[in-house]
Chain A
């Protein structure tokens, strides 16, 4: 019984730890991605096709039909033609917290040592700070950000790219877009932790980006932040309907990574649940043996007037006691190990950068672990309990007495 109890404690504990870790990394990834690319991205205007134009002219439900239809069949005109108008419209959505106009373009960054391909992001700094965590991603702190704000030729460069180009804050470099070559000074470095971003992205003032990329109007996309990030898919659908521009929620953009995290979470839960399951089988064996060992005691209790339900209840209580002690022990073990793991120094780079194991404290992990253990333990207790209740006292005592 002690081994089964230990199994339940370890099963619940490890279930909590693995869930805290997998969902911790998932939450960290989501925070990073939201703090860098925002909750929704508005890009590319719908191109009115002959079919849609005809439908719009004759069918009062034309716009509804079009939005609900197959999105892959749509045609788009690249970019946002009138970002100011769209920004005004976006700010009227109740869940929208901020909107930033971004002009994106490919460049070659040329330092005196090396050159590398990069992407410039022309932004209005104050607007962009409302839709991203750029302020906290700046390595030099607020002073560096102010240096960028006050310098028309200033750049904010990803740390990985700066390392590749062997440049740092204060250095200058040339950005080349097509035939246009201009010299800029690095005002600050940033690090999102997402290496795909940190190795290519350079922030610059929107006006300067227009000049470098020769795009005097429009924008590549609008980055939108939301008060309630979980409503992003519904908001994106509404925005598409109203603005007639493609709108992608963060869940849609990062679907493959989010699915991978979910699969990992389920896989970890299933793997660790086998510990609980095996403990349940151990407990079933122990209780079944106990019924065999205690048949005389069961018979004497029945002879005293204890009912079949009373006998059954004794074994269910045994199961319940193991479950309660196992659950409390498992919670304590899970919480303790989760805390310990969260302090464990580890350097992770790739889809994000972290210096410790990421954990997410959620009551739901404890609830799900408890429900799994309850189902397993009580199932393991019910069968021996019913077997004990079915024993006939006369048969048992006769077998012993004669």
Chain B
């Protein structure tokens, strides 16, 4: 079941995922199906342990499902090799995590350039120019050469958003992107993420506990016990 609709950036069908071994084995995802549309922001909400993040990592090809299929654009990725999934992450997917996970030893500019270096489509100057432009977009144009340690928590998360957008991926996956920020910074980061994604026609999937954030998304998908509930 390939993706024929060009508006759909990502689709998964009947995803199952088990975690743990032996008696501690848990059926975390129990047949989840889902589509993410370009220029559309979807919030996945639900109580802790319901499988939201597990689903997000499966969609981001960081993990492999026990059963089910995942398509990114026209490619079935759920059974592909580690190298193919890694290449697909580089080209098609941008991640924003609850913790910014910036490389502390590098500047904001270097952090944003890292995905571009791996993709290798731009030369050094073009990469630096794009990174500067993205940092301008997130309001950090004057702090491009600051080390990650010299930025505040909100600023670091904004750098992480810029980094997720660096390779112009079709899909942005965000796991509690505002979970570690105060109200002001939460709003700022969410607005940035959704505005830039919509401008570029990217599909955004956000896992959040924050009802205010969820309510501002185009669609809310509540989840419980490893399944979407209406």
Contact = CB atoms under 8 A, between A and B. Distances in A.
Contacts of A401: 53, 97-99, 175-176
B57 A296 contact: no
Given A394-B62, A398-B54, A299 B101 contact: yes
Contacts of A302: 62, 86, 89
A392 B57 CA distance: 11
A393 B62 contact: yes
Nearest to B83: A307
Contact of A308 (B62, B82, B103): B82
A72 B53 CA distance: 85
B103 A305 contact: no
Interface string B30-70: 00000000000000000011000110010010110000000
A296 B101 contact: yes
A402 B48 contact: yes
A310 interface: yes
A400 interface: yes
Given A394-B57, A400-B99, A402-B53, A303 B62 contact: yes
Contacts of A400: 97, 99
A287 B118 CA distance: 23
A363 interface: no
Chain A interface size band reads 20 to 34
B56 to A, nearest CB: 9
Contact of A305 (B49, B89, B99, B101): B89
A304 interface: yes
A306 B48 CA distance: 30
B90 interface: yes
A402 B19 CA distance: 13
Contact of B60 (A296, A297, A303, A310): A303
B100 to A, nearest CB: 9
A148 B204 CA distance: 104
B122 interface: no
A397 interface: yes
A397 B97 contact: yes
Interface of B: 48-49, 53-54, 57, 60, 62-63, 82-83, 86-87, 89-91, 93, 95, 97-99, 101, 103, 114-115, 118-119, 163, 167, 175-176
27 contacts: A296-B101, A297-B101, A300-B97, A300-B101, A300-B103, A301-B114, A303-B93, A303-B95, A305-B89, A305-B119, A305-B167, A306-B86, A307-B86, A308-B86, A310-B118, A392-B62, A394-B57, A394-B62, A397-B97, A398-B54, A398-B57, A398-B63, A400-B97, A401-B53, A401-B97, A401-B99, A402-B53
Given A296-B99, A302-B89, A393-B62, 8 more contacts: A302-B62, A303-B95, A305-B90, A306-B86, A308-B82, A392-B62, A394-B62, A400-B97
